[in-house]
Chains A and B, each alone.
With several copies, the nearest count.
Chain A
Amino acid sequence: MLVATALVLLMTPALAFFYGGLVRSKNVLNTMMMSLASLGAVGIAWVVAGYSLAFAPGNGWIGGGAHLFLNGVGLEPRGSIPHLLFMAYQGTFAIITAALISGAIVERMRFGPYLAFITLWALTVYAPVAHWVWGGGWLARLGALDFAGGTVVHVNAGVGALVAAVLLGPRKDYGRQALLPHSVPFVLLGSSLLWFGWFGFNGGSALGANASAALAFVNTLLAPMATLVVWMLLDLARTGKATAVGAATGIVVGLVAITPAAGFVPPMSAVAIGALAALPSYYAIQWRSRTRLDDSLDVLAAHGVGGAFGALLTGVFAARAWGGTDGLLSGHPAQLARQAAAVLATASYSAAGTYALLKLVGLMATMRAGRKEEGVGMDVPQHGEEAYTSGEGAILVMTDRAPAMDVQTREGRP
């Protein structure tokens, strides 16, 4: 479990590279910071209140205040692992879920309002949904299956991303100019590290190194392989060329789709889920890019669609013999209905919550960068840095001197 938590933590920087490689070089630091800052802002919010809202005893809708400020969270076991570690593990999920949303609004949202938004989102949208499914809330009682977060994490983030993209509006050049990834190797690095980290995400969700963990682990290996193959074939069929960005996307979609099912389905079903999941996401991306919906890095198509589809397929393929409840193929169509209910409930709540929060943040501050800032790129105006510098023509400013210092530096040197 220690290792699993470390692996999930690594997913957030991995996401930073996946997203960072996909944007233009003038926005890469901003994009990466949107993921990394979640490690700070959401992480601390989780410790202060999020964990308690999700996992302290409460009602069917939300947890209580018993664990605010980690009150009563110590080294005593919770299930088979120390309570503290359980809290940390769950915290890494909250962090990455919030960070996922950033893919919808990169290259145009100001950094301060973004930080405020994801911190609030983690507390008011993520924590309740986590409570519903894993904290003993109403979806858990209903019997919806979500092994490692297909609905809680991916549907939730995907729908949040959709709402955020709509509210912020498209980038000024969207649909007019080609907005190309500045470093595809970074995209491949990110998706590879995501896969590596995802073993902690799914494998660790068994909360122990047992047979369930082994199953979840192997399924996390097999499903993305199948998605990768199908995605490459779709690419080849459509344009005759298997793209690298497509391969990276396919891996992520396969990981997303197997997440809710990982510990509940036999391995060949994992292959099937992975292969099938390529289709809706692939076509969602094709369709999205022809609309005015600038969900810039396709969070909805990869995580929302992939997660929802995976959650439904869980209801199809789940088998009691492999650790789940029986699903459609084992003769229990009711499970599919429960899965659909979970997806719908999460999607609705996430949409409403994200909408309300963004409106609130929009009242406090301007969320969107100006056209000029967008033109120059977010890195310099928002972070005061460039990602790649040659240093030539940069004039050193002595911070403890008067404003006239740069002339003085120029002339006053030995």
Chain B
Amino acid sequence: MKLIVAIVRPEKLNDVLEALYKEEVRGLTITLARGHGGELESVETYRGTTVKMALVDKVRLDIGVSEPFVERTVQAIMRSGRTGEVGDGKIFVLPVQKVYRIRTGEEDVEAVTPLV
């Protein structure tokens, strides 16, 4: 089991969700985040105060997947989240020791398999 944490551009989120959908990745959780990297900073002014926004809006996806899905998921995000400009984001693959489905108490692989 792995937890894939991806930071992507908010304007690309719909594309990423679509790509994941096609790869049959069904469960995921997203969080609004703000990132700091090599991106161009945007300058804003409020009355006399000029401000550089060093943090740029991003979306974070947390996706728990079983081993066979790891590569497909990563590739799908990379394909669909890319614009080629600085700021496209990162993907981290974290080891997971255990996964539970709260509703049923199922564990690990069963916990992330949709029961449709």
Contact = CB atoms under 8 A, between A and B. Distances in A.
Interface of A: 176-181, 239, 241, 243, 245-246, 249, 285-290, 298, 375-376, 380-381, 384-386, 390, 392-397, 399, 406, 410-411
A207 B39 CA distance: 58
B47 A249 contact: yes
B18 A392 contact: no
A241 B42 CA distance: 13
28 contacts: A177-B14, A178-B49, A179-B49, A180-B51, A181-B46, A239-B45, A241-B45, A243-B45, A287-B48, A289-B48, A298-B47, A380-B44, A381-B42, A385-B44, A386-B44, A386-B53, A392-B10, A392-B13, A393-B13, A393-B30, A393-B34, A394-B51, A394-B52, A394-B54, A394-B55, A397-B50, A397-B51, A397-B52
- Interchain residue pairs A-B with the least CB separation, the first 9: A289-B48, A393-B55, A397-B50, A375-B11, A178-B51, A395-B52, A394-B51, A286-B48, A384-B45
Nearest to B13: A392
B17 interface: yes
Interface in B18-36: 18, 21-22, 30, 32, 34, 36
A286 B21 CA distance: 29
Contacts of B116: none
B115 interface: no
B52 A289 contact: no
Given A393-B34, A394-B51, A397-B52, A385 B45 contact: yes
Label chain A's interface by main secondary structure: mixed
A395 B18 CA distance: 10
B46 A245 contact: yes
A392 B45 contact: no
Chain B, interface size: which category? 20 to 34
A245 B52 contact: no
A380 B46 contact: no
B51 A396 contact: yes
Contact of A397 (B11, B17, B22, B43): B43
Given A385-B45, A395-B51, 13 more contacts: A177-B14, A179-B49, A180-B49, A285-B48, A384-B44, A385-B46, A392-B14, A392-B59, A393-B53, A394-B51, A394-B55, A395-B53, A397-B51
A395 B49 contact: no
Contacts of B34: 392-393
Contacts of A394: 44, 51-55
